Structure 1
Amino acid sequence: MSHRCRLYLITPPKFELDAFAAALGDALAGGDVACVQLRLKDAADDEVLRIGRALLPIVQAADAAFILNDRPDLAAKLNADGVHVGQDDASYTEARALLGKDRIVGVTCHDSRHLAMEAAEAGADYIAFGAFYPTGTKEPKHWAEPEILEIWAETAETPCVAIGGITVENAEPLVRAGADFLAVSAGVWAHPEGPRAAVAAFNAVFERAAG
Structure 2
Amino acid sequence: MTGTENRCRLMLILPEGNDIAARQTMLEDALRGGDVASVVLPQYGLEDGLFQKHAEALVPVVQKAGAAALIEGDTRVAGRAKADGIHIAGGFDALAEAMEKHSPKLIVGGGNAKDRHGALGMGDLAPDYIFFGKVGGDIKPEAHPKNLALAEWWASMVEVPCVVMGGTDPQSALAVAETGAEFVALCQAVFAEPQNAAQVVATVNALLDEKAPRFED
CA distances 1:71-117 after superposition (whole Å, capped 9, x unpaired): 32321232211111122697123212432413111123343122221
Q: CA deviation at 1:128?
A: 0.7
Code of the residue aligned with 1:34 in structure 2: it is A
* Range moving further from structure 2, 122-131 or 87-96: 87-96
Would you say how many aligned residue pairs link Structure 1 and Structure 2? 205
Partner of 1:104 in structure 2? 107
The yes-or-no answer on 1:81 pairing with 2:87 is no
Q: CA deviation at 1:148?
A: 1.7
Question: Following the alignment from structure 2 to structure 1, what is the Cα–Cα distance between the partners of residues 122 and 116?
Answer: 10
Aligned mate of 1:148, from 147, 150, 164: 150
Partner of 1:45 in structure 2? 48
Code of the residue aligned with 2:84 in structure 1: it is D
Report the CA distance shift for 1:69/1:145 in structure 2 as closer, same or farther (over 3 A): closer
Partner of 1:197 in structure 2? 199
* Range moving further from structure 2, 90-99 or 66-75: 90-99
* Range moving further from structure 2, 164-173 or 89-98: 89-98
Partner of 2:71 in structure 1? 68
Long gaps (5+) in structure 2: none
| Identical columns (%) | 34
C-alpha contact 1:14 1:40 (8 A) present in aligned 2: no
Aligned mate of 1:11, from 14, 32, 36: 14
What SS does the aligned partner of 1:182 have?
A: strand
Code of the residue aligned with 2:183 in structure 1: it is F
Q: CA deviation at 1:157?
A: 0.5
Code of the residue aligned with 2:43 in structure 1: it is L
Report the CA distance shift for 1:102/1:18 in structure 2 as closer, same or farther (over 3 A): same
Partner of 2:185 in structure 1? 183
Q: Which runs of 4+ in 1 moved over 4 A?
A: none
Q: CA deviation at 1:134?
A: 6.3
Q: CA deviation at 1:152?
A: 0.8
Code of the residue aligned with 1:20 in structure 2: it is R
What SS does the aligned partner of 2:122 have?
A: helix
Long gaps (5+) in structure 1: none
Q: CA deviation at 1:192?
A: 7.8
Partner of 2:172 in structure 1? 170
Partner of 2:24 in structure 1? 21
What SS does the aligned partner of 1:171 have?
A: helix
Give the structure-1-normalised TM-score. Answer: 0.87
Partner of 1:124 in structure 2? 127
Question: Following the alignment from structure 1 to structure 2, what is the Cα–Cα distance between the partners of residues 26 and 181?
Answer: 20
* Range moving further from structure 2, 162-171 or 64-73: 162-171
